[in-house]
Amino acid sequence: MADVVAVWSVSLSDGIHKVQFEHGTTSGKRVIFVDGKEICRKNWMFKLVGRETFTISGTRAVINIDACSGFAYEYQLEVGGKSLEKFVEQRSRTCKVWTPTIDGVGHRIVLEKDSMEVWCDGHVLETAGEFVEDGTETHFELSGRACYIKAVSSGKRREGLVHSLVIDDREIPETME
């Protein structure tokens, strides 16, 4: 990994993925690693700039390689058709993430607000929705504990619903990724 020129972290529902890119600026070699596993290798590329397309957990990603000045290069990652920055911004609006510790074990719980899927440690959980007096509750079980995600109106049109995770009748603070 002597030629690693860029490393990115990509947060998806099934976890946070580490993308590494090797670029041999004399040979044109291009190697992409996702979570430490090599997923693409091209040796002896004559064109030093261009695009490399691959997937991260089924999500399309592209690394753009552009020349800056002389023999300097700029590398940008696109995920889901958007720059990484725009993708992260969109995910922060469409997903909520919590990282509770239960019995000494850390978990990562993700609510996809558009589909109402609940993910835990990379797997979709079986859930049951329920209407309650002030909103909705999405119930599931984690490590033998009763959990639910409560959705209530913020009272402000632009903010929409407020989601909170409750485990054993204790609210868990949201994690900012």
Q: pLDDT per position in the chain (177 positions), as tens?
A: 568 999 999 999 999 999 999 998 788 899 999 999 999 999 987 788 899 999 999 999 999 999 988 778 999 999 999 999 999 999 999 999 999 999 999 999 999 999 999 999 999 999 999 999 999 999 999 999 999 999 999 888 888 899 999 999 999 999 987
* Cβ atoms of residues 63 and 51 within 8 Å: yes
> What are 138's two structure tokens?
């999405």
> What are 160's two structure tokens?
């929409």
Q: What is the CA radius of gyration of the chain?
A: 20
Pairwise CA distance, residues 116 & 118, whole Å: 6
**What would the CATH number be for the domain defined by 92-172?**
2.40.128.180
* Extents of the domains making up the chain: 4-80, 92-172
- Phi/psi at 85 (nearest 5 deg)? -60, -45
Equal CATH topology for 4-80 and 92-172:
yes
**Which pTM value belongs to this model?**
0.87
CATH topology for 4-80 is: Lipocalin (2.40.128)
- Phi/psi at 157 (nearest 5 deg)? -60, -40
